[in-house]
Amino acid sequence: MEIEIKEIQELINKREFNKLKVKLNEVNEADIPALLEELDKENVVKVFRLLSKELAGEAFSYMEADMREKLVQSLTDAELKNVMDELFMDDTVDLIEEMPSNIVPRLLRVVNKKDRKIINDLLKYPEDSAGSIMTTEFVDLREDMTIAQALQRIRDIGVDSETIYTCYVLSNNRVLMGIVNIKEILISKEDTLIKDLMETNIISVNTIEDQEEVTKLFDKYDYYALPVVDTENRLVGIITMDDAINVLQDEVSEDFEKMAAITPNEESYFKTSVFQHAKSRIIWLLVLMLSAAVTGGIITEYEQAFAAIPLLVAFIPMIMGTGGNCGSQSSTLIIRGLATDEIEPRDIFKALWKEFRVALLVGVVLAVVNGIRTVLQYQDFQLAIIVGLTLIATVILAKALGCLLPLLAKKLKLDPAIMAAPLITTLVDVFSILVYFQIATALMGL
């Protein structure tokens, strides 16, 4: 960053606004929001007004919702219109979706009639669909254009287009016929026809496609932009890779949260209130706590066993912990593999067979190491055998469940990320305790 927050404060205090303006307009648009966040409240709007029209619009598209709301409420209609003019359609729609409903009419009032129509159409796409994240500003060409005509078209409308890297060749009724990228246009002869240059084997997505699937296509095909078409294959918008990265990051964060038994929340950590944090976490904690009562219930069935041999109780944390960790390892690998398409739901038996062999290997090693420890510490061979057998059974079960449940969830069109460590651990606990006391009572004749 070329300007420090202190310097801005100083220039404001000295009322050297012209100097501040020059300095500010050298800052990268993506760094403006962080600067504004650090300013005193009363200076935020003042500083924002010093930005050039272009920079103001670009910086706006990087801001978080609360900062945007503050600005929208302080700017005049004319200023707001300037900002909105600079936004691409996907950012405009994002803004309208996140603003409180009392502000929305004002936002719609300052955009022109044609854009208002487009915005209203975009607002209708389901949340997290390709339609909801696409933008409508792209370069459209015709098959019978020459390179010279195409270049002219790009010059005419390119400035308002989110990307000119990929151009879209449309028929008269806007059906997507081909794509051609700017590199090919530039290195071809002036009288070449677009139809002789365009790629007709096109990867496109439908407007209602899930945004997570869209990010997978970007990951797989390395495109800079993907065309979004309606059911009649008419081009309605494009999604650019920078937006796909944002979606990807959001989806990953959501997976992390779900896998840690948190109800996902779109706000950032510090912007989320204590109450909201508690709310996102309490549901799963309650479910898992009450489920753990089942394990507790099983333990009470074996009161006699551990009344006779109290040492049995000492191994409960280790067995539960190991079961949980083993299940978590398997479920994490499977969930992540499903998210990156490395694993498909049809691989279920292949994965299960792999996990079974891994579990056997890991279980035996753990049983042996723990056995040695138990014999050294308590001089009790029988206990080493009981705990060892329990460990092997627990590891196999944990890895089987950790592998099966996410794959089953995927098959049932549920989110595999729910079938993660917390749930698996709780399930494995029940079985491992049951197995433990069964083996113990059988072998010890209790």
Q: Which of residues 71-90 bind a copy of itself (CB under 8 A)?
A: none
Q: Which of 19, 53, 109, 357 binds a copy of itself (CB under 8 A)?
A: 357
Tell me, residue by residue from 96 to 135, as one string, x for binding to a copy of itself by CB under 8 A and - for no binding. Answer: ----------------------------------------
The pairs formed by 350-358 with CB atoms below 8 angstroms and a separation of 24 or more are 351/403, 351/407, 352/400, 352/403, 352/404, 355/330, 355/399, 355/400, 355/402, 355/403, 356/396, 356/399, 356/400, 358/399
By beta-carbon proximity to a copy of itself, the closer residue of 126 and 321 is 321
Are 425 and 284 a contacting pair, CB within 8 Å? no
Radius of gyration of the chain (CA): 30
Q: Helices 316-339 & 241-259, crossing angle to 10 degrees?
A: 160
| Residue 244 engages a copy of itself in binding (rule: CB under 8 A) | yes
By beta-carbon proximity to a copy of itself, the closer residue of 260 and 414 is 260
| Residue 310 engages a copy of itself in binding (rule: CB under 8 A) | yes
Distance CA 203, CA 218 (A): 10
Residues 6+ apart with CB under 8 A from 380: 311, 374
Number of neighbours of residue 22 by Cβ within 10 angstroms: 12
CB of 102 to a copy of itself, least distance (A): 29
Site for a copy of itself in 369-428 (CB under 8 A): 369-370, 373, 377, 421-422, 425-426
Site for a copy of itself in 137-166 (CB under 8 A): 151, 154-155, 158-159, 161, 164-165
Q: Which of 306, 348, 352, 418 binds a copy of itself (CB under 8 A)?
A: 306
| Residue 307 engages a copy of itself in binding (rule: CB under 8 A) | yes
| Residue 171 engages a copy of itself in binding (rule: CB under 8 A) | no
Site for a copy of itself in 251-290 (CB under 8 A): 252-253, 256-257, 259-262, 268-270, 274-275, 277-278, 281-282, 284-286, 288-290
Helix, strand, coil tally for the chain in percent (to 5) = 70, 10, 25
Q: Which of 102, 127, 232, 317 binds a copy of itself (CB under 8 A)?
A: 317
By beta-carbon proximity to a copy of itself, the closer residue of 109 and 183 is 183
| Residue 5 engages a copy of itself in binding (rule: CB under 8 A) | no
Give the binding-site size for a copy of itself (rule: CB under 8 A).
112
Tell me, residue by residue from 196 to 235, as one string, x for binding to a copy of itself by CB under 8 A and - for no binding. Answer: -----x-x--------------xxxxxxx-----------
By beta-carbon proximity to a copy of itself, the closer residue of 100 and 296 is 296
Distance CA 158, CA 34 (A): 30
Half-sphere exposure of 372 (CA within 13 A, CB side): 5
Residues 6+ apart with CB under 8 A from 219: 248, 340
| Residue 3 engages a copy of itself in binding (rule: CB under 8 A) | no
By beta-carbon proximity to a copy of itself, the closer residue of 75 and 420 is 420
Site for a copy of itself in 24-43 (CB under 8 A): 26-28, 30
Q: Is 218 helix (H, G, I), strand (E, B) or coil?
A: helix
Burial class of residue 30, CB neighbours in 10 A (0-12, 13-18, 19+) = exposed
